[in-house]
Amino acid sequence: MTPEFVIGFAQEAVKMVILIAAPMLGLGLIVGIMVSIFQAATQIQEMTLTFVPKILAVFLGLMLFAPWMLEKLVSFTHYCISQIPMFIR
pTM of the predicted model, to two decimals?
A: 0.78
CA distance 32 to 49: 10
Query: Which residue, 65, 77, 59, 80, is CA-closest to 19?
Result: 65
Indicate the angle between helix axes 48-82 and 3-42, nearest 10 degrees.
Answer: 160
pLDDT tens profile 28-80:
999 999 999 998 898 888 888 889 999 999 999 999 999 999 999 999 999 99
Centre a 10 Å sphere on the Cβ of residue 31 and count the other Cβ atoms it contains: 19
Q: Is the dihedral of CA 82, 12, 10, 13 positive or negative?
A: negative
Domains of the chain: which residue ranges? Answer: 25-88
